[in-house]
Chains A and B, each alone.
Chain A
Amino acid sequence: MQTHQYDVVIVGAGGAGMRAALESSKEARTAVISKLYPTRSHTGAAQGGMAAALANVEDDNWEWHTFDTVKGGDYLVDQDAAEILAKEAIESVLDLERMGLPFNRTPEGKIDQRRFGGHTRDHGQSAVRRACYAADRTGHMILQTLYQNCVKQDVEFFNEFYVLDLITDHDLTTEEIAAGEEVNATGVVAYDLATGEIHVFQAKAIIFATGGAGKIFKTTSNAHTLTGDGMALAYRRGLPLEDMEFFQFHPTGLAGLGILLSEAARGEGGILRNSEGERFMERYAPTIKDLAPRDIVARSMANEVREGRGAGPNKDYVLLDLTHLEPAHIDAKLPDITEFARTYLGIEPYTEPVPVYPTAHYAMGGVPTNVQGEVLRDGVNVVKGLYAAGEVACVSVHGSNRLGTNSLLDINVFGKRSGRAAAAYAKTASFHELPADPAARVVAQLDEMRNRPDGERVADIRKALQDTMDLNAQVFRTGESLNQALADIRELQKRYRNASVQDKGKLFNTDLLEAIELGFLLDIAEVTVVAAINRKESRGGHYREDFPDRDDTNYMLHTMAYRRPPEASDKAEGHVKGFFDHVEEFDGYKVVLGSKPVIQTRYEPMERKY
């Protein structure tokens, strides 16, 4: 076992992690620990753009952007955070340009901008060009640019290191912490994939930037490595997860494969059609049609299929039509996604419409933070020295549905903020003592998994999980379907205790790591479904057919989910009788729900029409 000491440890080297590192490494001794080489991170798969009201091509301002973000999130957005997001967007884009990011340009040489779903001029009048972009590989360019600047700044990386535990100086799963009492994050425990060695990192400040958890679903745009590690580690250590029932299904995944085709395809003029060739979005969102927010488009598509207007032999997808666009325009603006259609489905988008269906894409929920990126341990108090940014976090700027191009923005704005805040805190703080054997839990967990003789296959349990999530907790949900998913997850959590790996070695044991990741997935699926069962309304990405309307009277609150031992209290902060008081018993623990108020500044909730 090796021990390291850093002022700031950043977990994850995607956009948020590296953006944070560029700030904190200027001020404090910083290490970035990443399960992948930084340039492999899934930020690189983002395509369409990054929103900022630069007004380079038409009239725009950050207040409109704030409004769109709040409305897009179906009013569950914390409006103070959304305001920061939209305001600081402009500087964030300019930061990236100065770092060297090769944005597409207008004829005058300014950063070019294009339309994207839910982004409008003057509070919904019409679609606005707000997305700054680099062809359909904006995320790739952001990831490369941030890594390039980390090389320039000589940021220290620990690549292919898996963080498997978070260390705090209080056990939040069992201890009752008095209000105002300090809880500190003191370090993380990591597993070096190449050698199988354990590394303990003691740190004054820790930033979680571990990304999403799309692999709880079968059909997803997410990488195999997006297994919710950071969320699950926080949850296991007694920290709450916020708004996990809200998962975004991106409308245009390649049918059957889930590979993302950017919304930019529609921003550039692409049209969704059903089997009858009808532009069906005209019926669902008469004003902005195909550029309605993702939750609305995804639901409309699923509804077309359900009502028998799906295309294909099984009538189970709709068509993304680009055939009316000039091939030269497609090549200039959408080269990568059209190549995906050719490579993976053998479809030529110049002449044929592309089969698409919603694909699990983005977790709106996550580890709750304030606008400085500090992680909350309940509705109010923070864990000192612990930060989170990007998809792992919930600020909450996305509310119940994220607008396209707001996630590349989120990682830049809140990555930068949390990097600065962590470094500033580390300068004033001292190291806290680690427990006697900080790696004990991780070592025991790995040994148990590695040494368990013939058990169940990890892949079988994972497949069962993904199948039930796709079937029961996707675009359309009911109390019945969610309870089925919950029953399945309970069973799978039990089966997981008997899972075993075939590779018993020390070196580059990906078999072992996949087994550990499955544990994270099960925990994230569990909390997603419990929160979804409790929320008996439809809002943003969470659609309950048995409760099809939004219910602001009872549910205009963020869900806060805690995992606790069976003997602990059934009441969590924000307990609201009949609405946020749900408890689900599991084998050896329970999930307790509470709530947190939504911060509203200037926008009153309205009916959401586009």
Chain B
Amino acid sequence: MTATLEAPAPAAGEIPSFTVTLRVRRFNPEVSDEATWQDFTVEAHGTDRILDALHKIKWDEDGSLTFRRSCAHGVCGSDAMRINGRNRLACKTLLKDVNPDKPITVEPIKGLPVVKDLVVDMEPFFASYREIMPFLITTGNEPSKERYQSPEDRARFDDTTKCILCAACTSSCPVFWTDGQYFGPAAIVNAHRFIFDSRDEGGSQRLEILNDKEGVWRCRTTFNCTEACPRGIEVTKAIQEVKRAMITRAF
């Protein structure tokens, strides 16, 4: 009774199956200290994503191919990787949209230590996130009901609430590549989410943290982060707003 992939809707665009080659960056420290490229050719359907192709390789051909994934529709943030030189989520990138006529390169995101194949050590990324105090800070008594917030005040930080911590932005940032100490766009986005929340009272502490030499001033406004964000967050704009707040708000 189930609609199946083998029968895509015409409304969805009738795209026949095709073959595609993935050129995958492989690294397994148990085998070799060197990373290598390996080509895999798989059959794909019109609605298949990079993640589907990776699964086909792993499930039918080479079980040792290693990558993270979970939700498979762009909300959990597990499968950020560098696809044809651009950071994207493998589960949100359709093969047909990245020119399947040529081999598609798939590499781990840059700037974080590679653990195995497409898996990187995310700990430094989460450590930066934790440092900016990513939680609501309030003083005084807890209200017995909800805090009120106008729809306008709520809209002020809506964009940065969308972050899924996939690290696509931070690992696309040339400053982060050369200086792993830099907080990076994702941490700043999450600081922004609270700095511009009318309920929060910890803005000055966060601004002080980000005024550090590894803070927002290292941003060179290259817009890589905005381009990389799979959630469509205007990351560079958020960073600029944090910079502006630093100048205009006394702390």
Contacts and interface: CB of A to CB of B under 8 A. Distances in A.
B142 interface: yes
Interface string B53-95: 0000011101110110111111111100000000000001010
A116 interface: no
B130 interface: yes
A244 B211 CA distance: 54
A140 B164 contact: yes
A109 B149 contact: yes
B13 A343 contact: no
A432 B231 CA distance: 47
A352 interface: yes
Contact of B3 (A37, A111, A255, A260): A255
B14 to A, nearest CB: 8
A218 B6 CA distance: 13
A471 B2 CA distance: 7
Given A110-B148, A140-B75, A256-B7, A98 B143 contact: yes
> Taking chain B's interface residues, is the majority helix, strand, or loop, or is none over half, making it mixed?
loop
A336 interface: yes
B9 A255 contact: yes
Interface string A128-164: 0000001101001100100011011000000000000
Contacts of B124: none
A314 B146 CA distance: 50
Contacts of A302: 1
Interface string A90-133: 00011001111011111111110000000000000000000000
Contacts of A564: none
Contacts of B2: 218-219, 316, 357, 470-471, 474
Interface stretch (A72-80, A392-400, A418-426, A502-510): A502-510
Nearest to B67: A510
A197 to B, nearest CB: 14
B199 interface: yes
Contacts of B247: none
B31 to A, nearest CB: 8
B21 interface: no
Contacts of B13: 346
A317 interface: yes
- Scoring B8, B77, B163, B197 by chain A CB atoms within 10 A of each residue's CB, the highest score goes to B8
Contact of A508 (B77, B116, B133): B116
**A42, A102, A110, A302: most-surrounded residue (chain B CB, <10 A):** A102
B77 to A, nearest CB: 6
Given A39-B164, A344-B73, A475-B1, A102 B47 contact: no
Interface string A505-519: 111111100000000
Interface in B193-220: 194, 197, 199-200
A347 B136 contact: no
Contacts of B62: 502
6 contacts: A37-B78, A97-B147, A302-B1, A510-B58, A511-B63, A511-B64
A313 B5 contact: no
Contacts of A383: none
A141 B161 contact: yes
A219 B30 contact: no
Max count, chain B CB within 10 A of own CB: residue among A36, A37, A505: A37
Given A256-B47, A459-B60, A40 B76 contact: yes
A511 B134 CA distance: 34
For B13, B75, B130, B165, the residue with the greatest tally of chain A CB atoms inside 10 Å of its CB is B75
Contact of B136 (A41, A141, A148, A357): A148
A257 B150 contact: no
B250 interface: no
Nearest to B8: A256
Of A224, A317, A347, A509, chain B has the most CB atoms within 10 Å of the CB of A224
For this complex, into which size category does the number of interface residues on chain A fall? 35 or more
B135 A109 contact: no
Given A314-B3, A336-B75, A474-B2, A39 B165 contact: yes
B64 A505 contact: yes
B75 A149 contact: no
Given A257-B5, A314-B7, A510-B66, A134 B73 contact: no
B7 A224 contact: no
A452 interface: no
Nearest to B115: A508
B72 A149 contact: no
A225 B165 contact: no
B183 interface: no
Interface of B: 1-5, 7-14, 28-31, 47, 49, 58-60, 62-64, 66-67, 69-78, 92, 94, 115-116, 119, 122, 126, 130, 133-136, 142-143, 145-151, 153-154, 157-158, 161-165, 194, 197, 199-200
Contacts of B66: 503, 508-511
B12 A345 contact: yes
B225 to A, nearest CB: 18
Contacts of B8: 256
Contacts of A94: 145-146
B70 A345 contact: no
B12 A347 contact: yes
B4 A256 contact: yes
Given A459-B60, A505-B30, 9 more contacts: A41-B76, A256-B3, A256-B5, A316-B3, A346-B12, A502-B62, A505-B31, A508-B66, A508-B115
A103 B47 CA distance: 33
Contacts of A352: 11
A316 B12 CA distance: 14
A255 B135 CA distance: 38
A98 B199 CA distance: 9
A262 B118 CA distance: 31
Given A256-B47, A457-B60, A501-B63, A343 B70 contact: no
Nearest to A107: B151
Given A109-B150, A508-B66, A357 B12 contact: no
A502 B74 CA distance: 28
Contacts of B71: 40, 42, 44-45, 223-224
Given A105-B149, A148-B136, A506 B30 contact: yes
Interface in A29-54: 36-37, 39-42, 44-45
